[in-house]
Chain A
Amino acid sequence: MSLAATDRKPASVAQADPAIAVSITRPAPGKAARAKRILIPLLMLALLLVVWSVYVWAFAVPHYILPSPMRIANALVTDWGILGPALLVTLKITFLALILALLGGVTLAVLIAESKIAELALYPYAVILQVTPIVAIAPLILIYVPTTQAALLICAWIVAFFPVLSNTTQGLKSTDHNLLDLFKLYGASRLQTLIFLKLPNALPYFLAGLRIAGGLALIAAVVAEFAAGSAGAGSGLAFRLIESQFRLNIPRLFAALFLLSVTGVMIFAATSFISYMLLRKWHESALKRET
């Protein structure tokens, strides 16, 4: 019986009824498994907060050394008037830098992938820009650029654009040679080859670069602000962090840190989601594998 079944298998089974294959290979994901995925991290968080609170309470740790989670939450609420605008500034710099990094990175990648001369002329300098620590460049930029905000933006951009550039370049260059031949055979123009073949092929690489760049843009926005030593109104979270340290307002420092972490996590989640939505239909990385 099994012999007869395998005999007819090749093209005809899947062809005759794709629904059969689907129903066999897709068991409903257990609700218990999904609940576990949410519950366990939450329990872990609760446990951590409890241990933290008990430690602070039991050893009477002063709040200017380690504040209790409650105190940090309190600072977050009461200092929101200071932290909120600072968060907004940091977000603005981060996202503006990220968007510019995407535009610059992709444009430069296309240029480099399409022209050997552009590659030889530009790539080494992109690498130099990337490997030089941003903290070391920041003071110079501060001198040349009229406003601190613009300087921060440039710093964040320099750091964020490289992963986009290098990943997208890699993606553009790793196009299937047979497909390139096919396009040539059908007389595709250079622009058509770029739009219909190379860019879609580079998309997964670009998205991997985007995820890295998103995190880096935030880090660079913070580091650059440290380096710039900006102060007063219109400053970002990094300034509030340092200021809190100087004033030994450690609960507020923790609150600022918390906001930065949440921002980082949100950026990662957003870029991962975008990546999933764009690739879920066709790319291996977004495939759910049944075991």
Chain B
Amino acid sequence: MALEWISGNRKAPENVTASTTAEPGFAEESARGAGTAPIISLKKVSKVFANGTVALNEMSLDIARGEFVSLLGPSGCGKSTALRIIAGLSNATSGSVTWPEEARRGKPAEGYGHEISFVFQEPTLMPWATVFGNVWLPLRLKGVSKRAARDDVMGALEMVGLAEFADSYPRELSGGMKMRVSISRALVTKPRLLLMDEPFAALDEITRFKLNNDLLHLWEKFGWTVIFVTHSVFESVYLSNRIIVMAARPGRVARDMAIDAPYPREDEFRTSPVYNDYCRKASNALHDAMEASAET
């Protein structure tokens, strides 16, 4: 098999198995990686919107450094809400979001002591700024001058293969290229946690496969922690080493499964039995989660 000769340089967290039950509180127990505090820890986080909708109900989740976690679920399961709460863009109604790793390093366990980047479903570029200007933005807001930011910005553009488009305007780029710029902007701050909210959902499949691969290569190279929201079973299995399947109404964790396939994963992985097996499992888990959603 194509996979066996590829030695995985990354392991899925050992203590999560694919057969865990649909207990909302389950993930809370799974303190991962002996001795290392999770990078982020959600404890019984709930979000109730002003109109009474319960977007999230007591979601608990620990995410370890270096994990590639996908939040997979039907629309309305609160996966985007969870991401926004982690990013600090939205406040939880109850429960806590803490950063134990930060706390260990003597920084406050709550608040903005950490480097987070966020990639939206839309490229979300400023149309009046060049590609360079868009990628420079996060640094510019921290007061870094154009000259001082030049190397970092060009480096981030090189990572996504767009260095020669630095002076182009967003409207001159294709959808896939705009998304690359968006990713590049997220990477320019050298984040430790990368949050992605269905970043490739609006792209055609061929472009999406390409960007999936590029994202994986960068992740393997730099070892960030990624939380990736998606509604695609295939994408989540291909990318992540852990999938959190979520159920809707109210949004909650339905299943926490490890994808124990080695990296690097290339296009051949898409046709391998291991991949198919995991896709079936994830698909079943999603199906169960949706049944559970329908009942309530």
Which A positions have Cβ atoms within 8 angstroms of B?
7, 9-11, 14-15, 18, 176, 178-179, 181-188, 192, 196-197, 200-201, 203, 281-284, 287
Contact = CB atoms under 8 A, between A and B. Distances in A.
Given A14-B174, A181-B89, A200-B126, 13 more contacts: A11-B177, A11-B180, A181-B84, A182-B118, A182-B120, A185-B116, A185-B118, A186-B137, A186-B138, A187-B112, A197-B126, A200-B128, A201-B128
Contact of A185 (B89, B129, B142): B89
B120 to A, nearest CB: 5
B202 interface: no
Interface string B115-143: 01110101010111100000001101110
A281 B177 contact: no
Contacts of A182: 118, 120, 124, 137
A18 B176 CA distance: 15
B176 A11 contact: yes
A14 B177 contact: yes
A265 to B, nearest CB: 29
Contact of B126 (A11, A179, A192): A179
B89 A14 contact: no
B157 to A, nearest CB: 12
A177 B137 CA distance: 16
A186 B177 contact: no
B107 interface: no
A282 B169 contact: yes
A252 B142 CA distance: 63
A13 to B, nearest CB: 9
A179 B127 CA distance: 11
A14 B174 CA distance: 8
Contact of A176 (B117, B124, B141, B165): B124
Contacts of A18: 168, 172
Among all A-B residue pairs, the 5 with the closest Cβ atoms: A11-B176, A178-B124, A10-B207, A200-B128, A188-B141
Given A11-B174, A14-B174, A178-B124, A196 B116 contact: no
Contact of A282 (B118, B128, B142): B128
A15 B142 CA distance: 31
B262 interface: no
Contacts of A7: 206
6 contacts: A10-B174, A185-B88, A185-B89, A196-B141, A197-B126, A282-B169
A18 B162 CA distance: 12
A187 B161 contact: no
B173 interface: yes
Contacts of B127: 282-283
A179 B124 contact: yes
Interface in B74-109: 84, 87-89
B171 interface: yes
A281 B169 contact: yes
A215 B255 CA distance: 64
Contacts of B84: 181
A76 to B, nearest CB: 44
A11 B210 contact: yes
Contacts of B29: none
Interface string B195-214: 00000000010110010000
